[in-house]
């Protein structure tokens, strides 16, 4: 009998099923669409601020795949839209946050791109760079203290945040106490207008791990499978009592830092265009197309669906009411009757 000839290219799938590989593509497409929507809404004057994670999609889809829902705890930073989508926050949750509506999971009080969902294990974001790293170490310490095993804390930052004292304190404390935590550094080369070379005298952030006595790992953050592979090892080490890991995922930031920043004043367009060759989204689309995991029609349909879901969530969130003025001091001052400005 003739041997079946398959057109499928060999695929490094990191042990993931077709459905999981497709789920990562979905996550990446949705992340980019929602990022763009944030910028559009800002330029339309509908929301005060937006941040983009364009270029981070692959590493966030891969890291989310290594996160155990209902078990692990995520302490993210503001550029983690894909990661929070991947652990169960919905497009409607995100847009309700951007529009600061009452139904927002922080009651319409948080900044755009400052996500939280207690029921999904996502801790509220701190705008103070690296302050959340000590919170994350504290949460990991609490897991150890209360004897909860099999759970890990995932704490993310950019590479610029690793210059902050609190990052070092959190890493040191975690290593000393062998805490169940993974510090994921999304190294996009820039901290607003400060390049990595002006931030540290080393090439790899992962090298900082050895000074504190924890393992440092590096992965290609433009490849979701490579990131998943690395994060799986690190998260399993944390869950099984092996202690903390520092993971550095190399990527690039394609957009300005935020809608309040104009990157043309510090980054030349040629370098940006060169980096586009490594754009994780079309790269991963090609991988799945060549492996026959998805076909052109499937990809087109998926993109249409992502746009439709983004539009629906935008319209729904925009139609929701703002928080009531009566609710202004909730979670701000102790006691409903305390109104210091009236005294
Ligand atoms: C303590 C503190 N200093 C400065 C800022 C202003 N700030 C906000 S984001 C940012 C850059 C952080 O860069 P990085 O950690 O590399 O993350 P990226 O934004 O590149 O993803 C700075 C300096 C801040 N929020 N907190």
Which domains does the chain possess? Answer: 19-193+201-258+266-342 (3.40.50.970)
pLDDT over threshold 70, residue 7: no
pLDDT for residue 9: 64
The string of pLDDT tens digits covering residues 62-91 is: 999 999 999 999 999 999 999 999 999 999
Note whether 15 and 228 are within 8 A (CB): no
132 has pLDDT over 70: yes
Q: Hey, whose CA ends up nearest to atom 20 of ligand 1?
A: 191
Q: What tokens does 5 get?
A: 């000839």
Pocket test for ligand 1, best of 160, 221, 259, 260 (most atoms within 8 A of CB): 160
Write the pLDDT tens digit of every residue in 88-97.
Answer: 999 999 999 9
Indicate the pLDDT class of residue 326, thresholds 50, 70 and 90.
confident
Q: Decide: residue 58, CB within 10 A, 0-12 exposed, 13-18 middle, 19+ buried.
A: buried
Above 70 in pLDDT, residue 343? no
Inter-CA distances, 119 with 77, 122, 135, 242, Å: 18, 8, 18, 26
3-class SS of residue 248: strand
Task: Tell me the whole-structure pTM to 2 decimals.
Answer: 0.94
Please check the confidence at residue 4 and state whether its pLDDT lies above 50: no
Segment 29-49 mean pLDDT: 96
Ligand 1 pocket residues where CB is under 6 Å: 79, 127-129, 157-161, 186, 188, 190-192, 253, 257
The alpha carbon of 219 and the centre of ligand 1 are apart by a number of angstroms equal to 22
Centre of ligand 1 from the C-alpha of residue 160, in Å? 7
Q: What is the average pLDDT value for the chain, to the nearest integer?
A: 94
How much of the chain exceeds pLDDT 90, in percent? 87
128 class by beta-carbon count within 10 Å (0-12 exposed, 13-18 middle, 19+ buried): exposed
Angstrom distances, CA of residue 243 to CA of 64, 184, 204, 235 = 20, 14, 21, 9
Q: Does residue 8 have a pLDDT over 80?
A: no
Tokens found for residue 38 = 């944030």
Which tokens is 294 given? 């998805």
Task: Please give the distance, rounded to the nearest whole angstrom, from the Cα atom of residue 4 to the centre of ligand 1.
Answer: 54
pLDDT of 161 over the 70 cut: yes
- Amino acid 10: pLDDT: 77
Question: Are 240 and 179 contacting, i.e. CB atoms less than 8 angstroms apart?
Answer: no
For a pLDDT cut of 70, what percent of the chain falls above it?
94
The band of 337, judged by pLDDT with boundaries at 50, 70 and 90, is low
**pLDDT confidence tier of residue 3, bands split at 50, 70 and 90:** very low
Element (H, E) at 280: helix 280-290
Q: What is the pLDDT of residues 38-47, one digit of tens each?
A: 999 999 999 9
Distance in angstroms (rounded) separating the CA atoms of residues 31 and 55: 10
Q: Is the predicted pLDDT of residue 332 greater than 80, yes or no?
A: no
Closest atom of ligand 1 to CA, residue 257: 19
Closest ligand 1 atom to the C-alpha of 258?
19
**Of residues 252, 59, 65, the one with CA closest to residue 156:** 59
pLDDT of the residue at 2? 43
Q: What is the mean pLDDT of residues 196-210?
A: 98
Q: What is the helix, strand, coil percentage profile of the chain, to 5?
A: 45, 10, 45
């Amino acid at each position: 009998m003739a041997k079946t000839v398959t057109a499928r290219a060999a695929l490094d799938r990191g042990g993931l099923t077709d459905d999981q590989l497709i789920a990562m593509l979905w996550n990446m497409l949705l992340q980019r669409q929602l990022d763009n929507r944030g910028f559009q809404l800002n330029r339309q004057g509908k929301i005060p601020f937006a941040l983009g994670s364009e270029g981070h999609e692959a590493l966030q889809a891969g890291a989310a795949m290594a996160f155990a829902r209902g078990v692990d705890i995520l302490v993210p930073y503001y550029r983690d839209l894909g990661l929070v989508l991947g652990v169960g926050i919905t497009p409607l949750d995100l847009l309700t946050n951007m529009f600061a509506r009452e139904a927002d999971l922080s009651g319409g009080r948080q900044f755009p791109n400052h996500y939280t969902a207690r029921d999904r294990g996502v801790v509220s974001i701190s705008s103070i760079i690296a302050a959340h790293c000590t919170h994350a170490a504290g949460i990991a310490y609490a897991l150890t203290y209360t004897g909860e095993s099999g759970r890990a804390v995932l704490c993310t930052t950019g590479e610029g945040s690793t210059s902050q004292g609190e990052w070092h304190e959190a890493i040191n404390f975690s290593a000393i106490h062998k805490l169940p935590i993974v510090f994921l550094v999304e190294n996009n080369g820039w901290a607003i207008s400060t390049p990595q070379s002006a931030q540290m005298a080393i090439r790899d952030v992962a090298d900082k791990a050895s000074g504190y006595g924890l393992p440092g790992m590096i992965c290609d953050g433009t490849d979701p499978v490579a990131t998943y592979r690395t994060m799986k090892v690190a998260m399993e080490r944390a869950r099984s009592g092996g202690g903390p890991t520092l993971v550095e995922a190399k990527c690039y930031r394609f957009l300005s830092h935020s809608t309040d920043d104009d990157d043309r004043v510090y980054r030349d367009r040629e370098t940006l265009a060169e980096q586009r060759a490594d754009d994780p989204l079309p790269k991963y689309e090609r991988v799945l197309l060549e492996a026959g995991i998805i076909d052109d029609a499937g990809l087109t349909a998926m993109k249409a669906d992502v746009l439709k879901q983004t539009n629906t969530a935008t319209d729904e969130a925009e139609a929701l009411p703002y928080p009531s003025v009566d609710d202004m001091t909730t979670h701000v001052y102790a006691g409903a009757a305390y109104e210091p400005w009236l005294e």
